[in-house]
Structure 1
Amino acid sequence: MSVGRSPLREHPAFMRFWCARLAGSAGSQMMMVAVGWQMYELTASAWDLGLVGLLQFLPALVLTLPAGHAADRWHRGRILAACFALQTAIGGLLAASALGHWASRELLLGISVLLGTARAFQMPVQQALPALLVPDVVLPRALAFSSAGMQVAIIGGPALGGLLYAAGAGVVYGTCAALFVAALWLAFGLRYEHAPPPREPVTLRTVFAGVSFIRSREAMLGAISLDLFAVLLGGAVALLPIFAKDILHVGPWGLGLLRSAPAAGALLLSVWLTRRPIERHVGRAMFVAVIVFGLATLAFGLSTSFWVSLGALFVSGAADMVSVVIRQTLVQLETPNEMRGRVSAVNSIFIGASNQLGEFESGVTAAWFGPVGSVVMGGIGTIVVALTWMRLFPALAQRDRLRG
């Protein structure tokens, strides 16, 4: 059997990382379901739901580039463990506030800043680690399998969080803290060959080296920016509490299922891509996937049926997974190891902008045009962006293979 087709379990360091990411992602997803529902119960405000996303994004905007520089200098496993340690403390604080009945809007917004700080360091490290844990020929399959684990967490986390919320927010937050402890232990035990780079002074040039690297590669820049604008415009996650309560008329259990539906679609595609990675016409596949994502978002915005909404979110998640795997593999294969932390940091800013800033955008447009108008405009905008990017980045649209 060739190395490229060898079972991933033959790479124990990668499997340990995979388990750590699974536990940490499940805890994070459960926490966000509880924070979103609790915030909406406290304030009944779409604006406040948007602020939760914005306050997670702002620390990432400020700290992610320095975090990428740190990931290229120090042991990435130790940085990841520190991020899980901070999230463990956050879970404990939220559990205490819920059990003691002193949770407030201000506390939830402050917690959002701390979560954004942890993720500023966690995201570039998580993206840069797999390439150190498996050979290059295994990397596309490893990234697809890693994404599959992420989707399992995104499916199970919100669904379990929604069910546990019936017993109280404190139960949800306590479970999150336990999951972060497990992730901390796994991450701290990661072992790989780590050769500290030559010491050089920290300058703006070294911190922003990832930006310069991406700007010099048209296909990479096009892939990252396409994902940014597609999810920024097409994301409806921040508005799911409103759709669940006011439009689809379901409770926390329904919100958990709605949050899980995109991940279910993404899981199906990621399992398929683990066995059959995309090897030809990758540029075309990426653009088609983004257009399908926009159409599914549009269908969700117009739906008044819970089951139709679930189906639309399922399709959107499947389409997004195609884009994610192509983008992640392209970035990792075209970046040398000594630059992966800083390049992954830039990629993380784009991902954070598309997720957290997208939540803020959804909250603002929902306050102006209503939740349905916000999602419908986002779906149309995603399709327009995909068609525009095909003309702006022909090297990406015409890309045949992941290896250039």
Structure 2
Amino acid sequence: MIDPHRKIVAFIDEFGDSGLDIKKANTSSHFIVTAIIMDEDKIPDAERRIEEIRTKYFQTAEIKSSSVKNKQPDRRIKILTSMMDIDFAIFSIVIDKSKLVSEGFKYHNSFFKFCHRLVHTELYKAYPNLKIVADNHGDNKYILSFIKYVQKQQFGGDLFNQSSFIFDDSKSSKLIQIADFIGGTIAKGRDKTVLSPDAPRFYDIIKNKVIAIKEWPNNYPSYTYEPQSYNEFDSVIAEYSLRAAEKYIERYKKSKDIDTRNRMICLRYMLFYFRNIEPDKYIPTKELMNRVKMESQNKMAMQKFRSDIIAKMRDDGVLIASSSKGYKIPMNVNDIYDFVNRSNNVVAPLISRVLSARQQILLATQNHVDILDQQEYANLRKLIN
């Protein structure tokens, strides 16, 4: 019987870069994060076996995927085959950067955040006692940003003490070297810089150890989601909200009006966040404002953002939920209630104050002066009467 409280370690390494210009010869077409997962008590035996493999195939050097060229497929096959009797599992995230040019890729930090969410939700959910070991080379932007991401999540205690997240040197960590080699092998079937016709042969060797290789962007249809991923996912509300947002973008995509274009930037970011990052989380107002500022070079005050960006889109039929945490595309009825409650907390006191002033003036003038007796206030009279 498997002990649910056993200590699990994930050794993580990355393949590729986060460069935006994928047409450059040396820029990777994919960004791949690979975790080698195993029980902590099996690490010593694994390291002894890996040392034997390293000595046999790499002599005094590290085990590195880049050391085994495409013209040496048989050598890679022998190395992979020799690794398969070690007790570990493989979890990998593969980002196809070529598919992100038109939409999500310009949100550089966001696709990192998507990676973080996958690792966070998948690995920590499966292994509550997880320890992560990562290479400590200086340019490891993914791992550094991953630490910041997970620190914000709702965990008890200090997640990042020495027992739960540590850096190690790939030269001394044999299992990080395995993560490098497996990640590089997965890249052989995907990345333009290392593509190999032998990739199917390589995958056939490792497939029994693969827990999952998560591809991003996903290939789900525009309105197809996985309700089991979220406890209160209402597909009717979500699909209607997404359609309303997309219709707005389609209607105004050719507009040259500055405010309209700023609304499009804001709405596209909310759609991207909903589909690929965290559909159940609100985007902080300042994050949305910074997105608009970054893409349009237009700085605006908070009140202008709320009145000229958010309010105008709502006036035009876009459903936008809001709370003290920020804004989002509604995912379920509770998101709509958040908006109604927030509006009620603002509108109800204002109406109550207007009603009180009206009553006082009516009393003082013996009903001769009704401050709402103007055509401009017809809608307000309907709400109060």
Q: TM over 0.5: same fold? A: no
What is the TM-score when the length of structure 2 is the normalising length?
0.22
- The structure in which a higher percent of residues are strand is 2
Q: Which structure has the larger Rg over C-alpha atoms?
A: 2
- The structure in which a higher percent of residues are helix is 1
Name the structure, 1 or 2, with higher relative contact order (CA <8 Å, separation 6+). Answer: 1
